[in-house]
A and B are shown apart, each in its own frame.
Chain A
Amino acid sequence: MRKHLAHLSEEALVALVARGDEAALAELYDRVGGIAYGIAFRVLRDDRLAEDAVQEGFLAVWRSAATYRAERAQARTWIVTLVHRRAVDLVRREERRRADPLELVQRQESADPAGSAEDEAWLGFERERVQQALRLLPDAQREAIELSYYGGYSQSELAERLGLPLGTIKSRMFAGLARLREVLDEAEGSWTPRLSS
Protein backbone atom coordinates (compact mmCIF):
# COMPACT_ATOMS: atom_id res chain seq x y z
CA MET A 1 0.00 0.00 0.00
CA ARG A 2 2.80 2.36 0.89
CA LYS A 3 4.02 2.59 -2.67
CA HIS A 4 0.77 4.33 -3.57
CA LEU A 5 1.29 7.00 -0.95
CA ALA A 6 4.99 7.78 -0.81
CA HIS A 7 4.75 10.58 -3.35
CA LEU A 8 1.82 12.35 -1.70
CA SER A 9 2.25 15.49 0.38
CA GLU A 10 1.43 15.34 4.06
CA GLU A 11 -1.48 17.68 3.36
CA ALA A 12 -2.87 15.25 0.77
CA LEU A 13 -2.43 12.42 3.28
CA VAL A 14 -4.52 14.30 5.83
CA ALA A 15 -7.22 14.71 3.16
CA LEU A 16 -7.19 10.96 2.67
CA VAL A 17 -7.32 10.38 6.41
CA ALA A 18 -10.43 12.56 6.46
CA ARG A 19 -12.01 9.92 4.23
CA GLY A 20 -11.14 7.15 6.62
CA ASP A 21 -7.98 6.06 4.85
CA GLU A 22 -6.01 4.01 7.30
CA ALA A 23 -3.04 3.59 4.97
CA ALA A 24 -2.73 7.36 4.81
CA LEU A 25 -2.72 7.55 8.60
CA ALA A 26 0.04 4.93 8.67
CA GLU A 27 2.06 6.93 6.15
CA LEU A 28 1.65 10.10 8.24
CA TYR A 29 2.81 8.21 11.29
CA ASP A 30 5.83 6.93 9.40
CA ARG A 31 6.76 10.47 8.45
CA VAL A 32 5.89 12.44 11.59
CA GLY A 33 5.63 9.81 14.34
CA GLY A 34 9.32 9.94 15.18
CA ILE A 35 9.34 13.70 15.66
CA ALA A 36 6.05 13.54 17.58
CA TYR A 37 7.40 10.88 19.91
CA GLY A 38 10.66 12.78 20.34
CA ILE A 39 8.91 15.90 21.61
CA ALA A 40 6.42 13.93 23.72
CA PHE A 41 9.28 12.09 25.38
CA ARG A 42 11.18 15.30 25.93
CA VAL A 43 8.21 16.79 27.75
CA LEU A 44 7.13 13.68 29.64
CA ARG A 45 10.46 11.85 30.15
CA ASP A 46 8.63 8.56 30.31
CA ASP A 47 8.18 6.19 27.41
CA ARG A 48 4.69 4.98 28.33
CA LEU A 49 3.32 8.46 28.85
CA ALA A 50 5.00 9.63 25.65
CA GLU A 51 3.37 6.77 23.77
CA ASP A 52 0.00 7.75 25.22
CA ALA A 53 0.46 11.35 24.10
CA VAL A 54 1.46 10.28 20.58
CA GLN A 55 -1.43 7.85 20.35
CA GLU A 56 -3.95 10.43 21.53
CA GLY A 57 -2.51 12.97 19.13
CA PHE A 58 -2.73 10.66 16.13
CA LEU A 59 -6.24 9.60 17.09
CA ALA A 60 -7.13 13.28 17.17
CA VAL A 61 -5.72 13.48 13.64
CA TRP A 62 -7.86 10.50 12.67
CA ARG A 63 -11.01 11.97 14.16
CA SER A 64 -10.61 15.56 13.12
CA ALA A 65 -8.76 15.38 9.81
CA ALA A 66 -11.82 16.87 8.11
CA THR A 67 -11.39 20.05 10.12
CA TYR A 68 -7.75 20.51 9.10
CA ARG A 69 -7.14 23.59 6.93
CA ALA A 70 -3.97 23.57 4.91
CA GLU A 71 -3.88 27.37 4.74
CA ARG A 72 -3.62 27.59 8.51
CA ALA A 73 -0.71 25.25 9.15
CA GLN A 74 1.43 22.65 7.47
CA ALA A 75 0.07 19.19 8.18
CA ARG A 76 3.24 18.31 10.06
CA THR A 77 2.88 21.36 12.29
CA TRP A 78 -0.74 20.52 12.96
CA ILE A 79 0.14 16.99 14.03
CA VAL A 80 3.09 18.03 16.19
CA THR A 81 0.87 20.65 17.84
CA LEU A 82 -1.80 18.07 18.66
CA VAL A 83 0.75 15.71 20.20
CA HIS A 84 2.58 18.45 22.11
CA ARG A 85 -0.68 19.74 23.54
CA ARG A 86 -1.47 16.29 24.91
CA ALA A 87 2.01 15.86 26.30
CA VAL A 88 1.73 19.19 28.11
CA ASP A 89 -1.68 18.32 29.51
CA LEU A 90 -0.31 15.00 30.75
CA VAL A 91 2.84 16.42 32.34
CA ARG A 92 0.91 19.09 34.19
CA ARG A 93 -0.99 16.28 35.90
CA GLU A 94 2.22 14.51 36.86
CA GLU A 95 3.84 15.44 40.12
CA ARG A 96 7.18 13.92 39.27
CA ARG A 97 8.21 16.69 36.92
CA ARG A 98 7.94 19.20 39.72
CA ALA A 99 11.02 17.77 41.34
CA ASP A 100 13.13 17.93 38.24
CA PRO A 101 16.01 20.38 38.15
CA LEU A 102 15.65 23.29 35.80
CA GLU A 103 18.61 22.20 33.74
CA LEU A 104 17.67 20.46 30.59
CA VAL A 105 18.01 16.78 30.26
CA GLN A 106 21.11 15.87 28.30
CA ARG A 107 19.98 15.34 24.77
CA GLN A 108 19.75 11.80 23.68
CA GLU A 109 20.84 10.57 20.33
CA SER A 110 17.86 9.53 18.34
CA ALA A 111 17.86 6.25 16.53
CA ASP A 112 15.05 6.31 14.04
CA PRO A 113 15.35 3.11 12.06
CA ALA A 114 12.39 3.93 9.81
CA GLY A 115 13.98 6.97 8.22
CA SER A 116 16.06 6.92 5.07
CA ALA A 117 19.63 8.18 5.09
CA GLU A 118 18.38 11.35 3.47
CA ASP A 119 15.71 11.83 6.17
CA GLU A 120 18.32 11.21 8.82
CA ALA A 121 20.66 13.73 7.28
CA TRP A 122 17.88 16.31 7.14
CA LEU A 123 16.88 15.59 10.74
CA GLY A 124 20.47 15.88 11.91
CA PHE A 125 20.89 19.17 10.12
CA GLU A 126 17.60 20.51 11.40
CA ARG A 127 18.45 19.60 14.99
CA GLU A 128 21.78 21.32 14.77
CA ARG A 129 20.15 24.38 13.23
CA VAL A 130 17.62 24.62 16.06
CA GLN A 131 20.27 24.08 18.75
CA GLN A 132 22.39 26.82 17.22
CA ALA A 133 19.44 29.18 17.05
CA LEU A 134 18.64 28.52 20.70
CA ARG A 135 22.23 29.26 21.67
CA LEU A 136 21.89 32.70 20.09
CA LEU A 137 19.15 33.69 22.52
CA PRO A 138 19.85 35.55 25.73
CA ASP A 139 19.84 33.06 28.61
CA ALA A 140 16.64 34.36 30.16
CA GLN A 141 14.71 34.03 26.90
CA ARG A 142 16.11 30.59 26.15
CA GLU A 143 15.17 29.44 29.63
CA ALA A 144 11.59 30.67 29.20
CA ILE A 145 11.25 28.93 25.82
CA GLU A 146 12.81 25.67 26.92
CA LEU A 147 10.94 25.39 30.19
CA SER A 148 7.62 26.05 28.52
CA TYR A 149 7.95 24.08 25.30
CA TYR A 150 10.18 21.26 26.53
CA GLY A 151 9.21 21.36 30.19
CA GLY A 152 5.47 21.89 29.76
CA TYR A 153 5.32 24.70 32.31
CA SER A 154 2.58 27.26 31.91
CA GLN A 155 3.37 30.94 32.19
CA SER A 156 1.92 31.22 35.66
CA GLU A 157 3.79 28.12 36.85
CA LEU A 158 7.02 29.56 35.52
CA ALA A 159 6.46 32.92 37.14
CA GLU A 160 5.98 31.18 40.44
CA ARG A 161 8.89 28.84 39.98
CA LEU A 162 11.33 31.53 38.92
CA GLY A 163 9.97 34.11 41.34
CA LEU A 164 9.35 36.64 38.58
CA PRO A 165 6.34 38.77 37.63
CA LEU A 166 4.04 37.10 35.12
CA GLY A 167 4.55 40.01 32.71
CA THR A 168 8.29 39.34 32.64
CA ILE A 169 7.73 35.69 31.70
CA LYS A 170 5.28 36.66 28.96
CA SER A 171 7.62 39.16 27.38
CA ARG A 172 10.59 36.76 27.55
CA MET A 173 8.61 34.04 25.81
CA PHE A 174 7.43 36.35 23.07
CA ALA A 175 10.81 38.00 22.55
CA GLY A 176 12.54 34.60 22.50
CA LEU A 177 10.11 33.06 20.05
CA ALA A 178 10.21 36.13 17.79
CA ARG A 179 14.02 36.05 17.80
CA LEU A 180 14.07 32.34 17.01
CA ARG A 181 11.71 32.98 14.14
CA GLU A 182 14.13 35.53 12.69
CA VAL A 183 17.16 33.35 13.12
CA LEU A 184 15.49 30.26 11.69
CA ASP A 185 14.10 32.21 8.75
CA GLU A 186 17.58 33.50 7.93
CA ALA A 187 19.04 30.02 8.00
CA GLU A 188 16.14 28.56 6.01
CA GLY A 189 17.02 26.67 2.88
CA SER A 190 20.73 26.55 3.54
CA TRP A 191 20.71 22.78 3.71
CA THR A 192 21.82 20.78 0.74
CA PRO A 193 22.01 17.00 0.83
CA ARG A 194 25.42 15.51 0.55
CA LEU A 195 25.49 13.56 -2.66
CA SER A 196 28.79 11.81 -2.23
CA SER A 197 29.11 8.99 0.26
Chain B
Amino acid sequence: MDTETLELIAAYALDALDVDERGRAEELLSHSEEARAELRAFSDVTTALAVGASGPAPRPELRDRILSAARAEPSNVVSLESRRSRLAPVLGAVAAVAAVAALAVGLWGSSLSSELDDTRTALERERAAVALLADPDARTVALKSGEGRLVVDDAGEAVLVLDAIAAAPEGKTYEVWVLDGNRPVRAGLFDGGRDREVVPVDESVGAGAVVLVTVERDGGVDAPTSPPVVASQPV
Protein backbone atom coordinates (compact mmCIF):
# COMPACT_ATOMS: atom_id res chain seq x y z
CA MET B 1 0.00 0.00 0.00
CA ASP B 2 1.49 3.34 -1.00
CA THR B 3 2.19 6.15 1.41
CA GLU B 4 -0.48 8.42 0.01
CA THR B 5 -3.14 5.78 0.61
CA LEU B 6 -1.89 5.12 4.14
CA GLU B 7 -1.97 8.85 4.84
CA LEU B 8 -5.55 8.99 3.66
CA ILE B 9 -6.58 6.13 5.95
CA ALA B 10 -4.73 7.60 8.94
CA ALA B 11 -6.39 10.96 8.44
CA TYR B 12 -9.77 9.24 8.08
CA ALA B 13 -9.22 7.45 11.40
CA LEU B 14 -8.41 10.79 13.03
CA ASP B 15 -11.50 12.42 11.44
CA ALA B 16 -9.08 14.93 9.96
CA LEU B 17 -10.38 14.79 6.41
CA ASP B 18 -12.49 17.47 4.86
CA VAL B 19 -15.92 16.29 3.87
CA ASP B 20 -15.16 15.72 0.18
CA GLU B 21 -12.11 13.63 1.02
CA ARG B 22 -14.10 11.50 3.43
CA GLY B 23 -16.05 10.23 0.46
CA ARG B 24 -12.82 9.27 -1.28
CA ALA B 25 -11.63 7.34 1.77
CA GLU B 26 -14.96 5.57 2.16
CA GLU B 27 -14.94 4.56 -1.47
CA LEU B 28 -11.48 3.05 -1.00
CA LEU B 29 -12.53 1.29 2.21
CA SER B 30 -15.62 -0.16 0.59
CA HIS B 31 -13.60 -2.28 -1.82
CA SER B 32 -10.22 -2.84 -0.19
CA GLU B 33 -9.86 -5.41 2.53
CA GLU B 34 -6.28 -4.25 3.07
CA ALA B 35 -7.44 -0.68 3.61
CA ARG B 36 -10.03 -1.87 6.12
CA ALA B 37 -7.37 -3.78 8.03
CA GLU B 38 -5.23 -0.62 8.23
CA LEU B 39 -8.23 1.41 9.35
CA ARG B 40 -9.01 -1.11 12.05
CA ALA B 41 -5.50 -0.81 13.46
CA PHE B 42 -5.52 3.00 13.29
CA SER B 43 -8.97 3.14 14.86
CA ASP B 44 -7.76 1.15 17.84
CA VAL B 45 -5.17 3.92 18.32
CA THR B 46 -7.72 6.72 18.03
CA THR B 47 -9.98 4.92 20.51
CA ALA B 48 -7.02 4.86 22.89
CA LEU B 49 -6.67 8.60 22.28
CA ALA B 50 -10.34 8.99 23.22
CA VAL B 51 -9.79 7.08 26.44
CA GLY B 52 -6.77 9.28 27.07
CA ALA B 53 -8.84 12.44 26.65
CA SER B 54 -10.12 12.19 30.22
CA GLY B 55 -12.85 14.79 30.20
CA PRO B 56 -15.40 15.28 32.95
CA ALA B 57 -18.20 12.75 33.47
CA PRO B 58 -21.52 13.38 31.71
CA ARG B 59 -24.52 14.55 33.68
CA PRO B 60 -26.69 11.60 34.73
CA GLU B 61 -29.63 13.07 32.79
CA LEU B 62 -27.88 12.36 29.51
CA ARG B 63 -28.50 8.63 29.84
CA ASP B 64 -32.26 9.13 30.18
CA ARG B 65 -32.28 11.64 27.36
CA ILE B 66 -30.64 9.17 25.00
CA LEU B 67 -32.87 6.28 26.01
CA SER B 68 -36.02 8.40 25.65
CA ALA B 69 -34.91 9.58 22.23
CA ALA B 70 -34.23 5.99 21.18
CA ARG B 71 -37.62 4.92 22.53
CA ALA B 72 -39.27 7.64 20.46
CA GLU B 73 -37.97 6.03 17.28
CA PRO B 74 -38.50 2.31 17.63
CA SER B 75 -38.16 1.66 13.93
CA ASN B 76 -34.61 0.38 14.14
CA VAL B 77 -35.74 -3.18 14.50
CA VAL B 78 -33.97 -4.34 11.43
CA SER B 79 -35.80 -6.98 9.60
CA LEU B 80 -39.03 -5.92 11.21
CA GLU B 81 -38.71 -2.50 9.65
CA SER B 82 -40.63 -3.38 6.52
CA ARG B 83 -43.07 -5.52 8.41
CA ARG B 84 -43.90 -2.94 10.99
CA SER B 85 -47.17 -1.91 9.45
CA ARG B 86 -48.25 -5.49 9.09
CA LEU B 87 -47.34 -6.16 12.69
CA ALA B 88 -49.38 -3.28 13.91
CA PRO B 89 -52.67 -5.18 14.08
CA VAL B 90 -50.99 -7.84 16.18
CA LEU B 91 -49.21 -5.80 18.77
CA GLY B 92 -48.84 -2.19 17.77
CA ALA B 93 -45.41 -1.29 16.51
CA VAL B 94 -44.00 -0.14 19.82
CA ALA B 95 -45.38 -3.11 21.65
CA ALA B 96 -43.87 -5.40 19.04
CA VAL B 97 -40.47 -3.92 19.61
CA ALA B 98 -40.84 -4.25 23.34
CA ALA B 99 -42.02 -7.80 23.02
CA VAL B 100 -39.14 -8.85 20.81
CA ALA B 101 -36.72 -7.07 23.13
CA ALA B 102 -38.12 -8.78 26.18
CA LEU B 103 -37.90 -12.10 24.43
CA ALA B 104 -34.36 -11.58 23.26
CA VAL B 105 -33.18 -10.45 26.66
CA GLY B 106 -35.05 -13.07 28.58
CA LEU B 107 -34.06 -16.02 26.48
CA TRP B 108 -30.52 -14.85 25.94
CA GLY B 109 -30.05 -14.30 29.63
CA SER B 110 -31.41 -17.66 30.61
CA SER B 111 -29.73 -19.52 27.78
CA LEU B 112 -26.27 -18.50 28.85
CA SER B 113 -26.73 -20.10 32.20
CA SER B 114 -27.95 -23.35 30.68
CA GLU B 115 -26.33 -26.28 28.99
CA LEU B 116 -25.45 -26.00 25.32
CA ASP B 117 -28.47 -27.99 24.21
CA ASP B 118 -30.71 -25.74 26.21
CA THR B 119 -29.05 -22.76 24.58
CA ARG B 120 -29.78 -24.12 21.14
CA THR B 121 -33.33 -24.88 22.08
CA ALA B 122 -33.80 -21.45 23.57
CA LEU B 123 -32.42 -19.74 20.48
CA GLU B 124 -34.59 -21.87 18.21
CA ARG B 125 -37.63 -21.05 20.30
CA GLU B 126 -36.73 -17.41 20.21
CA ARG B 127 -36.31 -17.41 16.45
CA ALA B 128 -39.56 -19.25 15.93
CA ALA B 129 -41.47 -16.90 18.21
CA VAL B 130 -40.05 -13.79 16.55
CA ALA B 131 -40.85 -15.19 13.12
CA LEU B 132 -44.39 -15.93 14.15
CA LEU B 133 -44.93 -12.46 15.60
CA ALA B 134 -43.63 -10.98 12.37
CA ASP B 135 -45.79 -13.21 10.18
CA PRO B 136 -48.52 -11.08 8.64
CA ASP B 137 -50.71 -14.14 8.15
CA ALA B 138 -50.70 -15.08 11.81
CA ARG B 139 -53.98 -14.29 13.54
CA THR B 140 -54.52 -12.55 16.84
CA VAL B 141 -56.91 -14.24 19.23
CA ALA B 142 -58.19 -12.31 22.21
CA LEU B 143 -58.00 -13.60 25.78
CA LYS B 144 -61.11 -14.37 27.77
CA SER B 145 -59.16 -13.89 30.97
CA GLY B 146 -55.76 -12.32 31.54
CA GLU B 147 -54.16 -9.36 29.80
CA GLY B 148 -52.63 -9.95 26.39
CA ARG B 149 -53.31 -11.99 23.28
CA LEU B 150 -52.55 -15.20 21.50
CA VAL B 151 -50.92 -15.14 18.08
CA VAL B 152 -51.43 -18.28 15.99
CA ASP B 153 -50.77 -19.29 12.39
CA ASP B 154 -52.55 -21.75 10.13
CA ALA B 155 -50.14 -24.53 11.03
CA GLY B 156 -51.08 -24.26 14.70
CA GLU B 157 -47.83 -22.58 15.80
CA ALA B 158 -48.68 -20.15 18.56
CA VAL B 159 -47.19 -17.53 20.87
CA LEU B 160 -48.80 -16.06 23.95
CA VAL B 161 -48.06 -12.37 24.48
CA LEU B 162 -48.90 -11.38 28.04
CA ASP B 163 -48.85 -7.87 29.45
CA ALA B 164 -47.29 -7.42 32.84
CA ILE B 165 -47.94 -10.81 34.34
CA ALA B 166 -46.51 -10.92 37.86
CA ALA B 167 -43.62 -13.22 38.62
CA ALA B 168 -44.76 -16.68 39.70
CA PRO B 169 -44.65 -17.11 43.50
CA GLU B 170 -41.60 -18.74 45.10
CA GLY B 171 -41.53 -22.45 44.32
CA LYS B 172 -44.17 -22.05 41.60
CA THR B 173 -44.17 -21.65 37.85
CA TYR B 174 -46.67 -20.76 35.16
CA GLU B 175 -47.65 -23.70 33.01
CA VAL B 176 -49.16 -23.37 29.54
CA TRP B 177 -51.82 -25.80 28.34
CA VAL B 178 -53.55 -26.45 25.04
CA LEU B 179 -57.10 -27.64 25.53
CA ASP B 180 -58.39 -29.33 22.40
CA GLY B 181 -61.33 -31.45 23.46
CA ASN B 182 -61.38 -32.54 27.09
CA ARG B 183 -57.77 -33.11 28.06
CA PRO B 184 -55.33 -30.24 28.50
CA VAL B 185 -51.89 -30.97 27.00
CA ARG B 186 -48.73 -29.50 28.58
CA ALA B 187 -47.28 -26.75 26.39
CA GLY B 188 -44.44 -25.10 28.29
CA LEU B 189 -43.39 -23.27 31.45
CA PHE B 190 -42.43 -19.68 32.19
CA ASP B 191 -41.72 -17.54 35.23
CA GLY B 192 -43.41 -14.24 34.43
CA GLY B 193 -42.31 -10.98 36.03
CA ARG B 194 -41.50 -9.01 32.89
CA ASP B 195 -43.44 -6.12 31.42
CA ARG B 196 -44.22 -8.12 28.38
CA GLU B 197 -43.92 -11.86 28.41
CA VAL B 198 -43.60 -13.63 25.07
CA VAL B 199 -44.27 -17.32 25.55
CA PRO B 200 -43.96 -19.81 22.70
CA VAL B 201 -46.68 -22.46 22.95
CA ASP B 202 -44.93 -25.81 22.64
CA GLU B 203 -47.92 -27.77 21.35
CA SER B 204 -49.89 -27.27 18.18
CA VAL B 205 -53.01 -25.16 18.60
CA GLY B 206 -55.67 -26.41 16.21
CA ALA B 207 -58.97 -24.85 15.19
CA GLY B 208 -61.32 -24.59 18.12
CA ALA B 209 -58.59 -25.19 20.73
CA VAL B 210 -58.06 -22.96 23.76
CA VAL B 211 -54.76 -21.96 25.37
CA LEU B 212 -54.67 -21.77 29.17
CA VAL B 213 -52.13 -20.83 31.82
CA THR B 214 -52.20 -22.08 35.40
CA VAL B 215 -49.90 -21.63 38.40
CA GLU B 216 -48.22 -24.91 39.29
CA ARG B 217 -45.35 -26.14 41.42
CA ASP B 218 -41.80 -25.75 40.04
CA GLY B 219 -41.07 -28.09 37.18
CA GLY B 220 -44.71 -28.25 36.17
CA VAL B 221 -47.30 -30.98 36.52
CA ASP B 222 -49.06 -33.41 34.17
CA ALA B 223 -52.51 -31.98 34.60
CA PRO B 224 -53.65 -28.57 35.84
CA THR B 225 -54.32 -28.35 39.57
CA SER B 226 -55.65 -24.79 39.76
CA PRO B 227 -58.04 -22.54 37.84
CA PRO B 228 -56.48 -20.80 34.83
CA VAL B 229 -55.11 -17.29 35.28
CA VAL B 230 -55.04 -16.85 31.50
CA ALA B 231 -57.48 -18.30 28.98
CA SER B 232 -57.77 -17.56 25.30
CA GLN B 233 -60.92 -17.48 23.19
CA PRO B 234 -61.25 -20.59 21.05
CA VAL B 235 -58.88 -20.36 18.09
Contacts and interface: CB of A to CB of B under 8 A. Distances in A.
Interface in B1-39: 3, 6-7, 10-11, 13-18, 21, 36, 39
Interface of A: 1, 3-5, 7-8, 16-26, 29-30, 33-42, 47, 50-51, 54-55, 58-59, 62-66, 72-74, 76-77, 80-81, 84-85, 88, 107-114, 123, 126-127, 129-131, 133-134, 145, 148-150, 152-156, 158, 170-171, 173-174, 177-178, 180-181, 184
Contacts, number: 223
A35 to B, nearest CB: 6
B49 interface: yes
Interface residues of B, number: 57
A84 B54 contact: no
A111 B41 CA distance: 29
A155 B16 contact: yes
B17 A51 contact: no
B108 A4 contact: yes
A127 B52 contact: yes
B interface: dominant SS: helix
B62 A55 contact: yes
Given A1-B105, A21-B104, A62-B73, A55 B65 contact: yes
A58 B54 contact: no
B76 A18 contact: yes
A interface: dominant SS: helix
A153 B148 CA distance: 55
A130 B51 contact: yes
B70 A22 contact: yes
B145 interface: no
A111 B53 CA distance: 13
A112 B57 contact: yes
Contacts of A156: 18
Contacts of A18: 76, 78
Contacts of A110: 54-57
Given A84-B15, A145-B49, 13 more contacts: A7-B112, A16-B101, A50-B55, A55-B62, A55-B69, A65-B78, A73-B43, A109-B54, A113-B57, A133-B48, A148-B15, A173-B11, A178-B10
27 contacts: A1-B105, A4-B106, A16-B101, A18-B76, A19-B101, A21-B105, A25-B66, A29-B66, A29-B67, A34-B57, A38-B55, A42-B54, A47-B56, A54-B62, A63-B73, A63-B76, A72-B36, A77-B44, A81-B15, A84-B15, A110-B57, A133-B48, A156-B18, A170-B7, A173-B7, A174-B11, A177-B14
